[in-house]
Structure 1
Amino acid sequence: MGGVCCCLTEPVDFDAEVTLYHFDLHRAVGKGAFGKVRVVEHKRSKKLYALKYIDKARCIRQKAVANIIQERRLLEEIDHPFVVNLRYAFQDDENCFFVIDLMLGGDLRFHLERKGHIPQDVVRFWMAELSCGLEYLHSQRIIHRDLKPDNILLDAMGHAHITDFNVAIHYSERRLHTSVAGSMAYMAPQVVGRKGYSWQIDWWSLGITAYELLFHKRPFDGRNAEKMTQSILKDPLKFPEDASSRFIERDPEKRLGCRPNGQGLQDIQSHPWFTSIEWDNLKSKECQPPFVPDMKTANFDVTHELDEFLMVEKPLTHSKRKVNPDLDKMKPELRQLEEQFTVYDFSTLQRLSYYPHNQPVTTLGTSTEDTERTVAQSLDGTLIPTATIAERSQAGSPMLDSDSHRYMPPMPPSHGRRVPSTP
């Protein structure tokens, strides 16, 4: 049979539903809230990917089941050159797995901490690529809500990609969101002030990111959540240069990329700071990135590998699933993962849009309060400004006037199924 390959002691049927047995496991290159990120190689195609795996038990303990399922669904809707795209999704008895595009260039936090100073032309190039990615997400009715240097990955060539959709949600034209989610240092005033927000908050976060990359500091600060909130809401905006001032505009209707009379990405393209960008070539990735990661060295924290080598954590292994598990005997959260974290294979399935339902995922068997996460703080109570926090995703206040949606990005061409791009 052409679709079967022998691996270890048992054959792998590549024509059957995708499992971990379809991949060879290589080094660990990152660590998330619920598990590691590893390089994997598809045994038949020989293509390299990143494998993000989620420990189900830890996920349930931290009451993040809804976020994981929401992320799984949103990733299926996305396919763009400047996004880390989903290629496969599946699970075994212990873990849920995302197989995504491999980015070996490291995240921007890694490079910011090691380089200290990043040239303006490099930051401008990354911001241009990320603007294209954000415009695409918003056209798909998706708010990322956690854009920051940690969630921007470079590929081996130096192109920037948006990743980590753990707190991303669909937005509605009819109602604003009020739940607090993201990393506090990058949250827009509309989020921390609980005044209601939509897709415009991502452009604010992009502006904070640009500022931090350019000046190696963030424009707002505070040792606890209250002080950080007041800083974001009231501290004067001071810019050494005009590079990112239009992104960091408290009024969403004056914010670059959001202005009512602007044209989204065209608004950004016409900004003087981006004059040197050749946008057509940039969108097709034909522009040479001004910064290329050194692929002779590891562009990630090597202690991720060391943890498994020293047996600090249980190493990931291939394991067979239980045959015909009894769903009725499972705990509600575990059953929800079993039923709603569905299998996806980009090589055989068309991408499904979940937007028409526009319903946030809720965790079975828990109350709304149980699904909230608290502000991330260190042991001494100091705010960790770059740590992701989240409340249950929900639409809140109605739009203040019927014309509020006039500057929303255009509707996607179709709410139906979309065929993924060629791998």
Structure 2
Amino acid sequence: MGAVCGKGSGEGNEAAISTRVEGITGGGGGGGKKALPKLPTNAIKSVPEDHQFIEESLARILLFSKLDSGLQRKIVAEMYERNVQAGEILINEGDTGLAATELYIVKSGIFEVLQRRQGQNVRVNLKQRGDCFGEISLMYDCARNATVAATVESVVWVMDRAVFRYFVREQQENQVSQVELFLNSVPILGSLSRDERMRLVDAIEEVVYQQGQKVITEGDNGDLFYIIKEGEALVFQGQGQRKVNHLFKADFFGERALLNDEPRIATVEASTKLVCLTLKRDTFTEILGPLEQLMKREKSPQVVAQKLAKLQPRGSNQRPAAEVLIKRKKKGKNGVESWEVVRAKGHLDEVQELRKGGSMAVDPEAKDANTLVLTEGTVLGGGAFSRVSIVNEDSTGRVYALKRMRKSAVVQCPEHVYCEQAITKNVAHPFCIRQYASFQDKYHLYFLFDLMSGGDLMDVLVAEAKVINRRVPESSWQVACLAPNVKMLQGMSEELAKFYIASVLLALEYLHNNNIVYRDLKPENVFIDVNGHVKLGDFGFAKILDSGNRTYTFCGTPGYVAPENVLAHGYNFSVDWWGLGVVMYVLLTGRQPFSTPKTDDPMVVMRRIVDENYVVKYPPYISPAAKDLISRLLERKPARRIGMLSGRATDVKKHKWFEGFNWAEMEARRNIAPRKPRESDINKRIKELMETERRTAGKTPKETPEELAECEAVFSDF
């Protein structure tokens, strides 16, 4: 349960690709326009004479190749030169942070690429003029996977992540604003809310017509609505095809095709090269429902049960403080255990709420009845700078999970911590982990959560997955019984997966109804209680989106991220439905959908995610209904993705894979979980975690006074 720190991921028995990631530039709708990041002092920009060569070198880069030529030129113009002396290390294997935020193109010289293998640095490649390296740094802060050093005096062009994402976001926001402005001017769409119009933005498709080409013909039936983005068109009508109108940029035509299937009343012909934004009636209906019904509906104020977006995410400094005492066992130098008490600062309202109804005596360590006392027990999980342990609340005897994070490890991205604090404090849903209190001491931040002692979905998958033999015909004419026997990995049963997917679906439905996008769906973030029921947890990347807005920050786990996230096109709740499709595939197969052929390179995986020619392969044991649902969740166009259509989550619930499923019983949590964690497995897992903590004990970083002062300032209102 790490909100900000990385955590392992699995593909059944395969190696994991699971780096937690976050782009440098922030995302989210409604924020002020960010300034163009400044280049280093004395940086020498690339000269125009080199721009074409740089663009040609970058053509092989996934993110760059997807941009239009104008945007490419803007980015290249902000690249700058860096001299690298012979023997100088440009990239050091394992570097993160600021040392892993740049892409390089060799202008001159030679670089050797070294990787650490069995304790030795081995040369694996050479980079010369025009070669690029460091592409993944444009997306997120991932540790460098090799050392790159100059063998002769060399020069590179440098592209900074913050600059790259600034221009990409600027273009996407401008395009979205332009399309929204176009849609606002169409009277027939006047009954739509801003949120509904913004949902159409992703469904708009661009079509180019050459001069003299007919766009629509009078008398033909049509189902497309057009808005002119660039160019001009002429409108003709009647037997003699008399010119009746001249259309320019932002003009629209064919809007009645969104209402019904009727003959066109005029012919429209491109008088110049014409670029149109088009919207299909079927697509419109899938996303919002019939336009005629939308036009007739009565506008009425909608009462939202919990408007989380209006809740104040911070402001805790205005709340009365209270003391929290954390009692934990400490082993001395002679091996004798003793109790130590850590004093932390919490919030009085939360402490009083937790102690309400408590009948136990006040702990002698506590000053008064308004002090919270927690006794720490066994470890449930953790990472390099965080841990989750079982704690017992003194006054009531209730058991919780206590998540502890090192302040110095998260001080560079406090917004994630504050988002997690605000969101988990105010969610109240059977399938979402709830936070009951937050507090801090000199070195750590703490969250008090629901206790989920049964592990996570990846633990279930590892326990349930197995290797099976299956006869797979090599061609359609081969008889099945004569087909070769192939060994393959199989995940959990579809009935078991259905229980888990349904639980996560209900959690996503609740979050989306409260304007929250989760952004990091994967099996490791779905936790299991002692009875086998699940809750969605780890809200470190969750974000509240105002209606109709988008966020642009790249975050998630390679292999699970949606195409619109990879390409920095701006996204909303669509990424969660994509994530659900990936999780469903993983649970059923024990591997990720974009992992074939097998690779350890996350950029290869993300290229497959955005490549429309890459086809996800399904094992023969997956049912047609399951395959269909996964395929519709892994639709690369977010506007056409199930979950983003007019029925939203209801469309997923009604899919044939869930035929006969009792949703009412599921929502009420009255059904018995099909798989209950075995006590032996829980004990084994806890023992392994305790052993890991024992090995890593004493490796806690020592902060300087300046670092502690920075942490205190950043988290003063936590």
TM-score (norm 2): 0.42
Cα distance change, pair 304–12 in 1 and its aligned pair in 2 (3 A): farther
The answer (yes or no) to whether the contact 2:425–2:437 under 8 Å persists in 1 is no
Q: What is the CA distance between 1:311 and its match in structure 2?
A: 6.7
Structure 1 CA distance for aligned equivalents of residues 707 and 593 of structure 2: 51
- Please say which structure displays the higher CA radius of gyration: 2
Deviation of 1:313 after TM superposition, in Å, equals 4.1
- The amino acid that maps onto 1:45 is T
Q: Deviations over 1:236-283 (max 9, x none)?
A: 133343412222211222222211x32x23212211101132111100
Specify the alignment match of 1:153 in structure 2. Answer: 527
Amino acid at match of 1:331: A
1:65-108 CA distance string (max 9 Å, x none): 22212211121221110011111111111111101000111101
- Does structure 1 conserve the Cα–Cα contact (< 8 Å) formed by 2:431 and 2:536? yes
Counterpart amino acid of residue 91 in structure 1:
Q
Q: 2:640 aligns with which of 249, 254, 257?
A: 254
Quote the RMSD (CA, aligned, Å). Answer: 2.5
Instruction: Give the aligned partner of residue 347 of structure 2.
Output: none
* Aligned residue runs from structure 1 range 310-321, under 5 A: 312-313=697-698
Change (3 A) 1:211 1:311: closer
The answer for the alignment partner of 1:98 in structure 2 is 447
Counterpart in the other structure of 2:385: 34
Alpha-carbon separation, structure 2, partners of 1:303 and 1:272: 41
Alignment of 1:161-172 (within 5 A): 161-172=535-546
Structure 2 residue runs of 5 or longer lacking an equivalent are: 1-357, 466-490, 701-705
Do the aligned partners of residues 195 and 11 (structure 1) sit closer, same or farther apart at CA in structure 2, a change above 3 Å counting? closer
Residue 172 of structure 1 and its aligned partner are, at CA, apart by 3.0
Match of 2:208 in 1: none
The answer as to 2:654 corresponding to 1:270 is yes
Q: Measure how far apart 1:226 and its partner are.
A: 2.6
Displacement of 1:12 in angstroms is 5.1
The letter for the 2-side match of 1:36 is R
Given that 2:408 and 2:711 are in contact with CA atoms closer than 8 Å, whether structure 1 keeps it comes out as no
Change (3 A) 1:217 1:251: same
Unaligned segments of structure 1, at least 5 residues: 316-327, 342-423
Correspondence for 1:205: 579
Residue type of the alignment partner of 1:15:
N
Cα 1:4–1:112 shift into 2, 3 Å: closer
Contact 1:52 1:100 in 2 (8 A): yes
Q: Is the 8 A contact 1:4 1:15 kept in 2?
A: no
Q: Which residue of the other structure, out of 515, 527, 534, is the alignment partner of 1:141? A: 515
Aligned match of 1:48: 399
Of 410, 413, 432, 1:83 maps to 432
Q: Distance in 2 between matches of 1:329 and 1:253?
A: 45
CA contact (8 A) 1:4 1:14 kept: no
Cα distance change on mapping 1:11 and 1:225 into 2, 3 Å: closer
**2:455, 2:527 within 8 Å by CA — same for their partners in 1?**
yes
What pairs up with 1:8-407 in 2 under 5 angstroms?
10-11=365-366, 13-16=368-371, 18=372, 22-32=373-383, 34-60=385-411, 63-116=412-465, 117-221=491-595, 222-234=599-611, 235-240=614-619, 241=622, 242-243=625-626, 244-259=630-645, 261-262=646-647, 264-298=648-682, 300=685, 302-309=687-694, 312-313=697-698, 331-339=709-717, 341=718
Structure 2: how far apart are the matches of 1:157 and 1:202? 26
Look up the equivalent residue of 2:395 and give its one-letter code.
R
Which amino acid is the alignment partner of residue 104 of structure 1? S
Work out the CA distance in 2 between the residues paired with 1:4 and 1:56.
Answer: 33
Deviates further, 276-285 or 295-304: 295-304
CA distance in 1, matches of 2:688, 2:367: 32
Q: Distance in 2 between matches of 1:140 and 1:255?
A: 20
Deviates more, 1:95-104 or 1:108-117: 108-117
Higher RCO (CA 8 Å, separation ≥ 6 residues): 1
Rounded to whole Å, the distance in 1 between the matches of 2:691 and 2:708 is 35
For 1:329 and 1:287, how far apart are their aligned partners in 2? 50
Q: Which amino acid letter does the alignment assign opposite residue 209 of structure 1? A: V
Q: In the alignment, residue 237 of structure 1 is paired with which amino acid?
A: V
Instruction: Please state whether the residue corresponding to 2:402 is helix, strand or coil.
Output: strand
Q: Using a 3 Å threshold, how does the CA distance of structure 1 residues 5 and 77 change in structure 2: closer, same or farther?
A: same
Q: Give a deviation string over 1:49-77, Cα, whole Å, max 9, x none.
A: 100001112223xx232221221112122
Q: CA deviation at 1:175?
A: 3.1
Secondary structure at 1:213 match in 2: helix
Q: Name the structure where strand makes up a greater proportion of residues.
A: 2
Q: 2:678, 2:522 → 1: CA distance? A: 22
Q: Distance in 1 between matches of 2:654 and 2:693?
A: 49
Instruction: Give 1:293 shift.
Output: 1.1
The one-letter amino acid of 1:305's match is: M
Rounded to whole Å, the distance in 1 between the matches of 2:716 and 2:676 is 41
What is the rounded CA distance, in whole Å, between the counterparts of 1:297 and 1:30 in structure 2? 14
Instruction: Return the offset for 1:220.
Output: 0.7
SS in 1 for 2:403: strand
Find the residue that maps to 1:303 and give its secondary structure.
Answer: helix
> Comparing 239-248 with 201-210, which one deviates more in the overlay?
239-248
Relative to the length of structure 1, the TM-score reads 0.70
Judge conservation of contact 2:407–2:711 (CA < 8 Å) in 1. Answer: no
**Is the Cα contact below 8 Å between 1:141 and 1:170 reproduced in 2?**
yes
